[in-house]
Amino acid sequence: MTIEELDQQSSALKQQRDELEKKERALFLKSAQKNVGRCFIINDVTYVKVLNVPQVEWTMIGSYFNQYQYPAIYITQDEVPFEFKTFFSGAWGEGHASFNHYKEITQEEFNAKFDEVIKAFSNKIKGENNE
Please, are residues 89 and 97 in contact by the beta-carbon 8 Å criterion?
A: no
Q: What is the pLDDT of residues 81-102, one digit of tens each?
A: 999 999 999 999 888 777 789 9
Residue 66 has pLDDT above 90, yes or no: yes
Q: How far apart are CA 129 and CA 10, in angstroms?
A: 66
106 has pLDDT over 60: yes
At 6-62, the pLDDT tens digits run 999 999 999 999 899 999 999 999 999 999 999 999 999 999 999 999 999 988 887
The number of residues making up the chain comes to: 131
